[in-house]
Structures are given as C-alpha cells and as structure tokens.
Amino acid sequence: MQTAELAVLDWIQLHLRCGFLDTVLPWISRLCDHGEIWIVLAAVLLILRSQRRYGAAVSCALVLDLVSCNLILKPLIGRLRPFVINPAVELLVPPPLDASFPSGHTQNIVGTTASLFACRKEKWVQIVCAVLMVLVPFSRMYLGVHTPLDVGVSFVLALALAAALYPAFRTEQTAKKATPWILARRRSAAGICSTPRRRPGATGPRAARILPTSRTVSKTRTP
C-alpha cells in the first residue's frame, strides 16, 4: 500500500509539477494552517444575527475535526510523512512535525466547507466550497506532505461528520433546538417579552395574561 501511494506522489511530481502550481498551491494549502481563517470565519458568522446558524455549524465542524484528527487519530497511529520515507521528495513548504495520518488540512477544509455547502443554498457559496474541497486535499499531495490514503480517509471522515451535523443545522428551527443560546439571543434582540400583562380593569390571579398582539375579528351572529 505504501509503495503504491509513493508511486502516486512520484507521478504527480513527474507529470503535474509546474511553476504555476508551485506558486499557487502552497497558498491554497495555507488556508488551513492551524485553522485560523476558519476560526475567524466562524466568529464573524456567529456575530452576524442572520448568519448564526452557519457560524454554529462551522464551529461544531471545526471542533469535531480537531478532536478526531489531531487529538485522537494522529497520536494514535503515528504514521510517518512521505518525505521522511522518501527523502528525494522536494518540499515547497516547511516540513510538518506531526504525524501524517490523517490529513488535518483535508479534514479541516472538507468538514467546514461541506457544512456550509449543505446549509447554504447560494450557488456561488456551493461552488467556492466545492473548489476548496478539491484543491486543498490535492495541494497536500502535490506538496509531498501527505499520501493519498491520508487525504482519502480524512475526506471521507470529514464528510461523515458533516453529514452527522447536517440534521441539527438544516433549518432555523432545528438549529435553535441544537443550540438554544441562538434562540435566546434572537428573542432578546427582537424584544420578545414573556412578562404577563394585566387586562384593563381585571383583578385577581387570572388577571395576569399575555394580551394578543394581533387584532381579532369578531364573529357576527346570524338571526
């Protein structure tokens, strides 16, 4: 398996290596370095009242990907990087110091963008997410820091986690149930008051009732 994976990386270096990709793909790969960009994106979406559902989805995806990849699988498996096994690989980025399997960059980008892809219906958002889900995993193999197995398993795992999160953030109603603090903030922002108000001229314990805000249509009696 490892021999076949290294053969794929050698084929990429031999047939696809060019000056344009040598310049562009390191920048594409840096989109997921430590996840700073996606943490900032999640924070901005959480601040914007109309975008909080998407911010909560991205935040949950980031946490699940961090725990499953960096805190569990990488230390548990401890696979060597391909450039360690094959020193002839020319790196275009500083050599990562952690384990190779699975790919944290791939799991980060696929988990967050898949969550946005499923929740957002705008075509341009889905196109950007789809492009990033392809470019970042490929960049990790092109740069020689991950094997196809590292990238492939991370891709599938991130999609599975995003699919598990989707029912919770599919609609505004499901998001409010999954993250009640969103509902609390929106209630306070909208000025919804649950304090009972007394009907004019009413007394006694039943006097405190919430008055209806909409006008009622009186029914006319027919003789």
Rounded to whole angstroms, the Cα distance separating 43 from 197 reads 38
Angle at 106 between CA 15 and CA 179, to 5 degrees: 160
The pTM is what? 0.74
Residue pair 150/79 in contact (Cβ under 8 Å)? The answer is yes
Q: What is the pLDDT of residues 1-46, one digit of tens each?
A: 678 888 898 899 889 999 999 999 999 988 888 777 888 888 888 8
Question: Would you tell me how many other CB atoms lie within 10 Å of the CB of residue 118?
Answer: 18
- pLDDT band of residue 198 (cuts 50, 70, 90) is low
DSSP string for residues in 191-223:
T-----EEPTT--SGGGEEPPPSSPPPPPPPP-
Please check the confidence at residue 188 and state whether its pLDDT lies above 60.
no
CA distances to 51, 57, 197 from 31, in Å: 22, 19, 53
What tokens were used for 70?
């960096």
Q: Would you state the pLDDT for residue 219?
A: 47
181-182-186-189 Cα dihedral, nearest 10 degrees:
60
Alpha-carbon distance values, 80 to 23, 51, 144, 154 (Å): 26, 40, 12, 16
DSSP assignment, residue 71? I
- pLDDT reading at 189 higher than 70: no
Distance CA 22, CA 114 (A): 26
- From the list 172, 197, 179, the residue with the least C-alpha distance to 60 is 179
Tens of pLDDT, residue by residue over 96-127, are 888 999 999 999 899 989 888 888 888 998 89
* DSSP secondary structure code for residue 93 in this structure: S
In angstroms, the CA 117 to CA 127 distance is 8
Q: Work out the average pLDDT over 167-195.
A: 57
pLDDT in tens, 122-173: 899 889 999 999 999 999 999 999 999 999 999 999 999 988 888 777 667 7
Q: What pLDDT is stored for residue 183 in this prediction?
A: 44
Q: Map out the domains of the chain as residue ranges.
A: 24-181
